[in-house]
Structure 1
Amino acid sequence: MSSTTRRSRRRLAAALALVLGSVTLLVSSPQQSAQAAPAPPEQALAQWIDRDTVVWKGAEHRAAQLEFGAHGDRIRLTPGSLSPSERGAYPHLAGYPAFTVDPRDRHLAGTALRGKLLAAQRTADGRRTTTGVQIPGVLDDLYGSRAQQAALGPVFGRDGRPTLSLWAPTARTVALELDGRTVPMRRDDRSGVWRVQGQRDWTGKPYRYLVTVFAPTAGKTVTNKVTDPYSTALTADSARSLVTDLDDPRLAPDGWSRPAKPAAVPLSRARIQELQIRDFSVEDRTSRHPGQYLAFTDRRSDGMRHLRSLVRSGTSYVHLLPAFDFATAPERRADQARPGCDLASYAPDSDGQQDCVGKTAARDAYNWGYDPLHYTVPEGSYASDPDGTARTVEFRRMVQGLNSAGLRTVMDVVYNHTAASGQDSRSVLDRIVPGYYQRLLDDGTVATSTCCSGTAPEHTMMGKLVVDSVVTWAKEYKVDGFRFDLMGHHPKANILAVRKALDALTPQKDGVDGKKVILYGEGWNFGEAANDTRFVQATQRNMAGTGIATFNDRARDAVRGGGPFDADPRIQGFASGLSTDPNSSKENGTPAEQRARLLHYQDLLKVGLTGNLADYTFTDTTGHRVKGSQVDYNGAPAGYAAAPGDALAYADAHDNETLYDALAYKLPPHTGPADRARMQVLALATAALSQGPALSQAGSDLLRSKSLDRNSFDSGDWFNALHWNCADGNGFGRGLPPAADNKDKWPYARPLLADPALRPGCATIHGASAAYRDLLRIHATEPAFGLPTTARVQSALSFPLSGKDETPGVLTMRLGNLVVVLNATPDRQHQTVRDLAGERYALHPVQAHGADRTTATASYAPASGTFTVPARTVAVFRRG
């Protein structure tokens, strides 16, 4: 998710404490399960944050109680206050009344939590008020420390007998449904974990849990038939969990125990290709397994050939969009709907394609997968057979296929929300421990700032699930890295716990060197957790210095221009013609305004090229000496990294328009295909030649288009598929993109899609890809692009022509024995660095002998120290 779309228990407790006076908590007893429950309260304004304390927003600071059970049982509450540790744990609750649980009633907590629970108070004017009670804090206090140590899900002993364990502390009963029978499970009262030990012949059998629990969203006690959140395998469409041992030799492809992985590349030097599994091969006629995990084992396919060409140039990782079990794609091919139209017959600017695709979108095989169902099982729609363990074996074979091509594998993981919550059939966690795993707002409703039902990794057992899941993927599937979706909605402590758990994995003990697993994520700061309201977040600023990278949106916006939600998509940036090749949009401002904004963008890009370092000092375009942190980015510091590797550079990703499509909107309409391709390469260069890690969307080097679709998560193969064969085009002109996220841009899109000049031919596509690969090769072979510290960057990297007289649209960077000139203007430019007069520089051999003969004309005049670079070109010169 983008930064524009898409914090600790401590604050929650503190705030509630100030609001509560004397309160009573009401709980229904286990014996009440058969009785009809009254309608649930509209809100849950009270929060039981630990065994001693309740906070109640809106209560009077006078006696109250918690009420539960069929016979009016109660827990007495007296006016109190939050302790310093409680205020630290729940900072967002510091302004609410707090209440202390009467010591005589504390032994009732375990019983009270296993049924309907209300907080009640008689106000000063005699009115009786009640509200529901949020219970995650007290559950953590009572059970968290022991439950955190439990091995959950199916665990096999040396004798081959499985033990199945489920954390369900508020459940009245839990049983196992297996073999058409119900098997009781036993509760450990210290941890809230229910267990049953099975027989060896349970292996491979489907199962569900029968959880009898009070569900606040239903207002009654229910018995939920639910799959295992710690599932290791599933039947088709996630209907049942399977009793599966991931260490079973039958699930190991040949050579799995002795992985032939390419050498690990440190995150600070990683060059990453982001791709979606189905996109990769579904329209590749040379693939034997279109749309499947096994497509990555098709060594002779066009897609795999292209990946290997990127590897030879310096690409080191493939980042896979979500490949865990998600909710939206039917997994059996027979159930997957297909558009019933001849999509190729429509005009390139027609609304017919999107209309036809839209009719089957909810039932087709396509979705990005940001709607998690089971976090630690591979998605079944990518397997040859979704029913059983084929998905396990084939995911492993996919990893082997990528490894054999020279690539390590990154998984996009989405622990910040679930596909659904409450009693929805797609809700797993919330039907087992209602109100615990989801993040609740102060009124008890589920937070949805992430787009969906938000989770609460700040709670002990949700945090444990994140750590356990990541470790399973690293250990059992040999995944080499993880990209956290909306990482800013996680506590920093949770992500650091992931890092610590991975670091403990060793080749001798686990078959994996966990210290070499890379981590990065979206450190956006928004929503109910923003500004560390609930906890210290895993945001851009807070993750600096941890070795865990965050996406750098500063340079991204500067190179592209504008933002993904601009009413007018033509707003320009450094690589899209701002000031130097203006289009007709009035939103770009006057010529003077354009020039000023372009120069500021150049300062943002300079900071980005350093690795987005906060303390890097340089002369900005106003002539002042500034630090990266003093450059403004929409009111925030541009530079936030403590070292190269803290910020991940990119010019495009799956979110928002592809780079080609953004440039289609922003470059003047008369710009020809060759010049569009040159600007694409130049834009990619701002990330590829930066310090620290960089990512590009798969196909961007091939000028990939999604026909101007801004948000193609459910737009089907027609708009999303990668086209490795240039004869199939680049995806541009496949019709107006789906209306939901694009209709406001259709007036701008129609004339562009109808223009045949915007559909590049093979020579243009091949030329752009070759030029980009040359840049990757330069990065891979020049040590100066991998400086380890801010001090080293400060001493080796400079912008010698930065200042009041800087050329708009041109960046000149000196890096050790290299000089890099990015000329985004439509004219040949001369950049004179007088301090280098007399030095011997020449165009880097990779470019001098490379595919782009225009770049090969770049030259250097030693007498004056002048570098001459063709229009719309990035040129790298080397001293020697």
Structure 2
Amino acid sequence: MKMNDLVIVGVAVATAAGCTSVKNEYASYELYPVRSGSLTEMEYTSEATHFSVWAPTADEVRLMLYEAGEGGHAYTTVSMEAGEEGVWHATVKEDLMGKFYTFNIKIDDQWLGDTPGINAKAVGVNGKRAAIIDMKATDPEGWAEDRRPPLQSFADIVIYEMHHRDFSVSPASGIEHKGKFLAMTEEGTRSPEGLATGIDHLKELGVTHVHLLPSYDYASVDETKLSENQYNWGYDPQNYNVPDGSYSTDPYDPATRIREFKQMVQALHKAGIRVILDVVYNHTFNIAGSNFERTAPGYFYRQKPDGTYADASACGNETASDRPMMRKYMIESVLHWVNEYHIDGFRFDLMGIHDIKTMNEIRAALTAVDPSIVVYGEGWAAQAPQLPQDSLAMKANTHRMPGIAAFSDEMRDALRGPFNDNKQGAFLAGLPGGEESIKFGIVGAVQHPQVCNDSVNYSQAPWAAEPTQMISYVSCHDDMCLVDRLRASISGIKDDELARLDKLAQTAVFTSQGIPFIYAGEEVMRDKKGVHNSYQSPDSINAIDWSRKALHADVFAYYKGLIQLRKNHPAFRLGDADLVRRHLEFLPVEGTNVVAWRLKEHAGGDKWEDIVVVLNSRREPARVTVPQGNYTVVCKDGFINEGGLAKVSGTELTVPAQSALIAWK
């Protein structure tokens, strides 16, 4: 039987007859044709569905159609036709709604194996087959009216990094849809002590953005065995453009995960919170079985000079963002998440593996949609990538990527100690030497005349052109959480000292001119029982225990107060390097383990004329000389009250041990 000149062959037939293309031989990846237009691989109508796949080195390509997302055999096999730009095509003139499909590509007499394609937008359970659904039918009620919460400046952002399961799985969360996208849609949830959890907790805390750990379809969790409570962070990509089924209530139904993801975004938007997606374009779960490798072998991954696969990710491979089709793929992928799912920002895992040109083109594409979409990433790689350092999106090159931010490990490690030694403390442990690195972070990694860059731990030069290009943080999902790190690096630390230093650390983060970022649960003194790398640890390690919110009410109040203080006072978020240099002045201090500065002359139009901030990690009070004046203290001894905690006149402020002080005149 013929359909559109393509041969339809039953699965029982050993080989499919049809057109065989002339295989093109390419001397290098630079000579591969680039597919123009969209990379969409399936276009559905009720009358016919058109399939297309970019496979420039293929000898033959088959399309397989299935009744279900797993199990059974293809009920029909279609031989695809070779077209221009290395694209193969097939059209099936029947209503395929609800069916599933894969491609299989033959090169040098070898079939590479089934793949849903590189650009599947809906999949069955475990993502092995792409699904044909009506994407419009996945829109929740009111989706067309969904809008991003207002954002005037990147400087106004406060980021809360969370994992779906960590945030909601504890019995103390009071949440019904534990570990699911829908957990973020539940209002009125309470801890056993009656305190807000879930989305109400986020509103109470005051964050502006939720950073979701990888939420696309990833490989390590078997979606058919969710009762086994499997856990993973999700940094093992399988299908980049589909939500992961393990966070949906029904991973077998391709529409459910999509609809529920949208419901989550919609609920967060209604709560005034934007959504950032953690994206991992730098590597895939594997090579041999990956959708990229089963489509155009070798093209999407970088190789070493000897021809073996490179591994700058330390996960077995590194993708080749510098190759035109990978660059095009990444741009289209982020735009898909923006247009289909209303995502408000992206955090790029190991961004240093990607090239600068690709990141700048991604930024430009997102700006064309909405300039307020935030982009930031890890400005490093696990190992040296196969490109020159000056071409990569490394932290040192951030100034060459306008509108893109990077994490500051300078300030992070100066506060709590180096990444590679859990027991080594720093400023918070009362050890000297980190003061200049903290000052580097306070100004937002921009050039400042009072920062001696020669004394900064990792960067001997400022790398940000604007302070909003620096992410200010002291901990994240990767590495020990702050409570565990303080316990590991300060022998015999008591609970009261732990709380003091926790508050001190986050004061540095929220008074920095960079974009502040906190790890979910730190506001309630979360711990992970000392586990450094909890990417596949059980819920007993990763879950946030919401009973801690009552136990550490003072810490939660302090975090909330810091966020509100930052929101109320533009001096803490100037957003412009020249304004930082003009209005932020470091104050002289005697000795070590104290950093002090003032924000002067109504910085940023602030109603407070002068604001003084002092960080004191000594075990005794510190005295700091300030300009003559009558000061109102609003932060002292682990408490914040903008109405005032004390009045001080003169030229000296006394800061209690292991704490921060903020005062204004």
Q: Partner of 2:107 in structure 1?
A: 213
Distance 2:643 2:427 in 1: 23
Q: Within 5 Å, which residues of 2 pair with 1:405-444?
A: 405-422=271-288, 424=289, 427-444=290-307
Distance change in 2, residues 1:851/1:162 (3 Å):
farther
Partner Cα distance (1:482, 1:160) in 2: 37
Identify the range of structure 1 (287-296 vs 264-273) with the bigger mean alpha-carbon deviation: 264-273
* Superposed displacement of residue 228, structure 1: 1.8
SS in 1 for 2:565: helix
Structure 2 matches for 1:523-602, cutoff 5 A?
A: 523-524=379-380, 527-529=383-385, 533=388, 536-544=391-399, 546-561=402-417, 563-566=418-421, 569-578=422-431, 598=432, 600-602=433-435
2:603 maps to none
1:134-165 alpha-carbon deviations (Å, 9 max, x no partner): 842221xxx12xx14343222346x7743222
**Take 1:686 and 1:450, find their aligned partners in 2: how far apart are those partners?**
30
**Following TM superposition, by how much is the alpha carbon of 1:792 offset from its aligned partner in structure 2, in angstroms?**
0.8
- Number of aligned pairs? 622
- Aligned residue number for residue 136 of structure 1: 29
Match of 1:617 in 2: 449
Please say if residues 857 and 870 of structure 1, whose CA atoms lie closer than 8 Å, have aligned partners that are also in contact.
Answer: no
Residue 112 of structure 1 is matched in structure 2 by: 25
Cα distance in 2 for partners of 1:575, 1:109 equals 66
Give the structure 2 partner of residue 702 of structure 1.
524
Indicate conservation of the 8 Å contact 1:267/1:645, yes or no: yes
Q: Match for residue 248 of structure 2?
A: 383
Instruction: Compute the RMSD of aligned alpha carbons.
Output: 2.5
Q: Cα distance, 1:529 vs. partner?
A: 2.2
Residue 595 of structure 2 aligns to which amino acid in structure 1? L
The separation in 2 between residues aligned to 1:306 and 1:298, in whole angstroms, is: 7
Shift of 1:725: 1.8
Measured at CA, do residues 663 and 243 of structure 1 come closer, stay the same or move farther in structure 2, by a change above 3 Å? same
Matches within 5 A, 1:742-821: 762-763=550-551, 765-802=552-589, 806-816=590-600, 817-821=610-614
Cα–Cα, structure 1 residues 199 and 681, in superposed 2: closer, same or farther, change >3 Å?
Answer: farther
CA contact under 8 A between 2:558 and 2:639: conserved in structure 1?
yes
Give the corresponding residue for 1:399.
265
| TM value normalised by structure 1 | 0.67
Instruction: Give the Å deviation of 1:417.
Output: 0.2
Partner deviation per Cα, 1:34-63 (whole Å, 9 max, x = no partner): 9xxxxxxxxxxxxxxxxxxxxxxxxxxxxx
Instruction: Write the distance in 2 (CA, Å) between the matches of 1:642 and 1:433.
Output: 39
Question: 1:167-186 deviations in whole A, cap 9, x for unaligned?
Answer: 00111111211141012222
Question: 3-state DSSP class of the match of 2:149?
Answer: coil
1:856 is displaced (CA, Å) by: 10
1:431 counterpart SS class: coil
Distance 2:47 2:491 in 1: 67
Deviation of 1:525 (Å): 5.1
**1:701, distance to aligned residue in structure 2 (A):** 1.4
Instruction: Give TM-score, length-normalised by structure 2.
Output: 0.89
1:300 maps to which residue? 188
After the TM superposition, which residues 240-319 of structure 1 pair with which residues of structure 2 at under 5 Å, given as runs?
A: 240-246=129-135, 248=136, 250-264=137-151, 266-285=153-172, 286-302=174-190, 305=197, 307-319=199-211
Which of residues 473, 478, 500 is equivalent to 2:364? 500
Give the counterpart of 1:325 among 204, 212, 217.
217
Residue 788 of structure 1 deviates from its aligned partner by 2.9
- Read off the aligned partner of 1:826 and give its amino acid letter: R
Whole-Å Cα distance in 1 between the matches of residues 94 and 392 of structure 2? Answer: 44
| Mapping 1:77-226, distance limit 5 Å | 111-113=24-26, 135-139=28-32, 143-144=33-34, 147-156=35-44, 161-179=48-66, 180-188=75-83, 190-199=84-93, 201-214=95-108, 221-226=110-115
Matched to 1:866, the amino acid is E
Q: 1:482 to 1:209 in 2, by over 3 A?
A: same
Output the CA distance in 2 between the equivalents of 1:534 and 1:633: 20
1:737-775 deviation digits (Å, cap 9, x = unpaired):
xxxxxxxxxxxxxxxxxxxxxxxxx44x21111112111
Q: Does residue 1:461 correspond to 2:322, yes or no?
A: no
Question: What secondary structure, in the 3-state scheme, does the structure 2 residue paired with 1:500 have?
Answer: helix
Amino acid at match of 2:231: Y
The 3-state SS of whatever aligns with 2:277 is strand
Output the CA distance in 2 between the equivalents of 1:202 and 1:874: 63
Q: Larger deviation: 490-499 or 820-829?
A: 820-829
**Alignment partner, residue 4 of structure 2:** none
Cα deviation code 1:192-223 (max 9, x no counterpart): 01122334611231001121124xxxxx6224
2: distance between equivalents of 1:305 and 1:402? 14
Equivalent pair of 2:188/2:200 in contact (CA under 8 Å): no
Query: CA separation in 1, counterparts of 2:79 and 2:425?
Result: 64
Question: Displacement of 1:258 after TM fit?
Answer: 0.2
Give the 5 Å matches for 1:43-58: none
User: Is the 1:564–1:656 Cα contact (8 Å) retained in structure 2?
Assistant: yes
Query: Displacement of 1:458 after TM fit?
Result: 1.0
The answer (yes or no) to whether the contact 2:118–2:295 under 8 Å persists in 1 is no
**1:311/1:690 CA distance change after superposition, 3 Å:** farther
Kindly name which structure, 1 or 2, has the bigger radius of gyration based on alpha carbons. 1
CA drift at 1:305: 3.6
**Cα distance in 2, alignment partners of residues 278 and 417 from structure 1:** 23
Describe how 1:28-47 pairs up with structure 2 within 5 A. Answer: none
The whole-number CA distance in structure 1 between the counterparts of 2:581 and 2:357 is 30
Q: Taking structure 1 as reference, are residues 857 and 479 closer, same or farther at Cα in structure 2, changes over 3 Å only?
A: closer
With over 3 angstroms needed to count, the CA separation of the structure-2 counterparts of 1:378 and 1:312, relative to structure 1, is: same
The DSSP-based 3-state class of the residue aligned with 1:704 is coil
Contact 1:858–1:870, Cα closer than 8 Å, also in 2: no
Give identity over the alignment, percent. 31
**Contact in 1 for aligned 2:265/2:275 (Cα 8 Å):** yes
CA contact (8 A) 2:633 2:648 kept: no
Please give the alpha-carbon distance, in whole angstroms, between the structure 1 residues aligned to 2:413 and 2:372: 31
Look up the equivalent residue of 1:575 and give its one-letter code: L
Q: Distance in 2 between matches of 1:310 and 1:776?
A: 12
How big is each residue's C-alpha offset from its partner over 1:436-468, in whole Å with a ceiling of 9 and x where there is no partner? 111111111111220222111111111111111
- Counterpart contact for 2:473–2:518, Cα < 8 Å: yes
How far, CA to CA, are the matches of 2:430 and 2:47 in structure 1?
A: 65
Instruction: Give runs of aligned pairs for residues 481-492 of structure 1, distance below 5 A.
Output: 481-492=345-356
Q: Structure 2: where are the runs of 5+ without partners?
A: 1-13, 15-20, 67-74, 601-609
The equivalent residue for 2:499 is 677
Equivalent AA in structure 2 for residue 420 of structure 1: N
Flag the structure with higher helix content: 1
Deviation at 1:878, TM superposition (A): 1.5
For 2:96 and 2:152, how far apart are their aligned partners in 1?
Answer: 42
By how many angstroms is 1:674 displaced? Answer: 1.4
CA contact (8 A) 1:577 1:667 kept: no
Cα 1:494–1:854, aligned 2, differ >3 Å: closer, same or farther?
closer
Asked if structure 2 preserves the Cα contact closer than 8 Å seen for 1:858 and 1:875, the reply is no
Instruction: Go from structure 1 to structure 2 and tell me whether the alpha carbon gap of 1:771 and 1:223 turns closer, same or farther (over 3 Å shift).
Output: closer
Supply the AA of the counterpart residue of 2:430: G
The structural deviation recorded for 1:112 is: 3.0
